[in-house]
């Protein structure tokens, strides 16, 4: 690339037999170098090639001059050629150094420019997503109960009939046991099942812990329901249990009212409607004034003014027998909430499947 044929031949062939003529040969080389460096200085790629051309160990110009001019130079010229070559080397290397720093500086500047963030430019919106509504609702329920001394325990989704039914006072032949509602794993009724509520974990906790007990148990539960607008075969529950030596119905009612005010706002009023659950006695459905119409009646509350929130009741003493708790000395209350249902109610969602279809157009509405 240097197209410097003269360096292929010894100085003698070029008639450079005096110090002056040697110096002028070298001056030609230097001029050529300066010309070429100016030519190749623009883009890093050709510059690298240019550097190699001049400083290449094997066939670089400087090496060729050393091989063809210095080595064969007659003794009387050796020192002159040597000096000239060193001066040329110094010139070439300092020029290359200076150029390299300029190039690196330019590359650095270009990189900086490339990286330069023009803060005035609008940022690139990276959709970060949000916590799922079920998660948001669950965390709100957790906040409400942790604030009054409840702790959170979680348990296995695969349970035994004993913990999912028997220990909860749901005797053999109780309709809830019907495999209509329950997913049995080994097919045989005696086999394991997918829990239909998180209550088994309350039993497991009482087996391991002496009273007082104040826990909430969140988690997925499974029921063999035909999916429709408000039912799915898997949904999320939060159940709660408080057992101690002096818990009264008033404590139960007070806790329920505290929850409703925290969850729906201080204006929400509570109503307890008698109900039945095998594991609570007395049992109640807890209603709250409709959060849409404030109780005056609207489409959401089917013009009743009331919205059914969750089920609850005083723990049925029969349950204590399964966990060696002394029913004479202890009393407690429990509740069970469908988190999906509460989320739909709170965020005005009419279709349960919307919560699980991962349609960002839907999910994006709830920051
Ligand atoms: C023990 C003792 C009592 C948990 C309770 C309910 C009432 C209830 C339903 C609400 C909506 C299930 O998700 S849902 O379909 N649950 O209404 N659950 S009392 O009572 C217990 C639990 C454990 C040891």
Q: Are strands 213-222 and 158-159 parallel, antiparallel or unpaired?
A: unpaired
Looking at ligand 1, which residue's alpha carbon is closest to its atom 14?
A: 338
d(CA 284, CA 228) in angstroms, rounded, equals 26
- Give nearest CA residue, ligand 1 atom 18: 336
Residues 6+ apart with CB under 8 A from 293: 300, 301, 305
At 124, is the pLDDT very low, low, confident or very high (cuts 50, 70, 90)?
confident
Pocket residue to mutate for ligand 1, from 217, 278, 334, 345, most atoms within 8 A of Cβ = 334
Nearest to 199 by CA among 248, 162, 174: 162
Query: CA-CA distance, 222 to 198, in Å (whole number)?
Result: 10
Is the separation of the CB atoms in 279 and 169 below 8 Å? yes
CA 138 – CA 61 distance, rounded (Å): 77
The string of DSSP codes covering 209-221 is SPSPEEEEEEEEE
Q: What is the mean pLDDT of residues 155-171?
A: 94
CA of 294 relative to ligand 1 center, distance in Å: 27
| pLDDT for res 175 | 74
Q: How confident is residue 149, by pLDDT bands cut at 50, 70 and 90?
A: very high
Centroid of ligand 1 to alpha carbon of 309 (angstroms): 12
- Per-residue pLDDT of 326-346, as tens digits, reads 999 999 999 999 999 999 998
Count other Cβ atoms within 10 Å, centred on residue 131. Answer: 12
Report which protein residue has its CA nearest ligand 1's atom 13.
338
pLDDT of residue 303: 94
| pLDDT beyond 80 at 41 | no
Reported for 325-328, long-range contacts at CB under 8 A and 24+ positions apart, including other chains, are: 325/206, 325/211, 325/243
Question: Which residue's alpha carbon is at the smallest distance from atom 22 of ligand 1?
Answer: 199
| Mean pLDDT, residues 213-233 taken together | 92
The tens digit of pLDDT for each residue in 269-293 reads 999 999 999 999 999 999 999 988 9
> 329 alpha carbon to ligand 1 midpoint, in Å?
23
How far apart are alpha carbons 332 and 313 in whole angstroms?
Answer: 9
Distance 197 CA to ligand 1 centre (A): 7
Atom of ligand 1 nearest to the CA of 310: 10
| Span from the CA of 336 to the centroid of ligand 1 (angstroms) | 4
Tell me the average pLDDT of the chain. 91
- Separation CA 290–CA 307 (nearest Å): 5
Instruction: Please report the atom of ligand 1 found closest to the CA of residue 167.
Output: 24
* 314-325 pLDDT per residue, tens: 999 999 999 999
Ligand 1 atom with least separation from CA of 223: 15
Reply yes or no on whether the pLDDT at 189 is more than 60: no
- Ligand 1: residues whose CB is within 6 Å? 168, 197, 199, 202-203, 237, 239, 241, 277, 279-280, 310-313, 315, 319, 334-338
Torsion angle of alpha carbons 50, 56, 60, 66, nearest 10°?
140
Residues 6+ apart with CB under 8 A from 353: 227, 229, 232
Q: Which ligand 1 atom lies nearest to the CA of residue 280?
A: 3
Whether the predicted pLDDT of 1 surpasses 80: no
Helices 75-115 and 44-55 cross at an angle (nearest 10°) of: 160
- 229-257 burial string, b = 16+ CB within 10 Å, else e? eeebeebbbbbbbbbeeebeeebbbebbb
**Closest among 273, 302, 305, 271 to 291, alpha carbons compared:** 305
155: nearest Cα among 241, 221, 231: 221
List C-alpha distances in Å: 215 to 48, 51, 241.
72, 76, 5
pLDDT at 226: 83
Q: Decide if pLDDT at 190 tops 80.
A: no
Exposure of 364 in the CB half-sphere (CA atoms within 13 A): 5
């Amino acid at each position: 690339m240097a197209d410097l044929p003269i360096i292929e031949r010894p100085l003698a062939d070029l008639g450079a037999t005096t110090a002056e003529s040697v110096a002028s040969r070298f001056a030609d080389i230097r001029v050529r170098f300066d010309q070429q460096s100016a030519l190749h200085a623009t883009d890093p790629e050709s510059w690298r090639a240019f550097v190699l051309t001049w400083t290449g160990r094997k066939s670089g110009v400087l090496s060729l001059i050393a091989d063809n001019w210095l080595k064969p130079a007659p003794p009387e010229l050796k020192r002159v050629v040597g000096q000239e070559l060193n001066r040329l080397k110094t010139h070439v290397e300092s020029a290359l150094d200076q150029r390299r720093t300029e190039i690196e500086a330019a590359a650095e500047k270009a990189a900086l420019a490339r990286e330069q963030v023009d803060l005035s430019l609008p940022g690139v919106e990276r959709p970060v997503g949000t916590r799922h509504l079920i998660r948001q609702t669950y965390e709100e329920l957790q906040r409400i109960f942790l604030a009054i001394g409840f702790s959170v325990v979680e348990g296995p989704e695969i349970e035994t009939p004993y913990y999912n039914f028997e220990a909860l006072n749901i005797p053999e032949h109780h309709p809830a046991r019907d495999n209509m509602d329950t997913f049995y794993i080994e097919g045989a009724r005696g086999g394991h099942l997918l829990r239909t509520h998180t209550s088994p974990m309350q039993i497991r906790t009482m087996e391991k812990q002496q009273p007082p007990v104040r826990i909430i148990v969140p988690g997925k539960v499974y029921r063999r329901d035909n999916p429709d607008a408000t039912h799915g075969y898997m949904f999320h529950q939060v159940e709660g249990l408080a057992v101690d030596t002096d818990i009264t119905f008033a404590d139960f009612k007070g806790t329920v009212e505290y929850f409703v005010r925290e969850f729906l706002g201080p204006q929400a009023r509570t109503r307890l409607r008698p109900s039945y659950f095998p594991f609570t006695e007395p049992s109640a459905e807890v209603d709250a004034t409709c959060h849409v119409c404030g109780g005056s009646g609207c489409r959401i509350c089917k013009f009743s003014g009331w919205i059914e929130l969750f089920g609850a009741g005083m723990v049925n003493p029969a349950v204590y027998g399964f966990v060696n708790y002394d029913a004479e000395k202890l009393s407690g209350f429990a509740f069970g909430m469908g988190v999906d249902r509460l989320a739909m109610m709170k965020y005005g969602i009419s279709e349960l499947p919307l919560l699980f279809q991962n349609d960002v157009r839907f999910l994006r509405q709830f920051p």
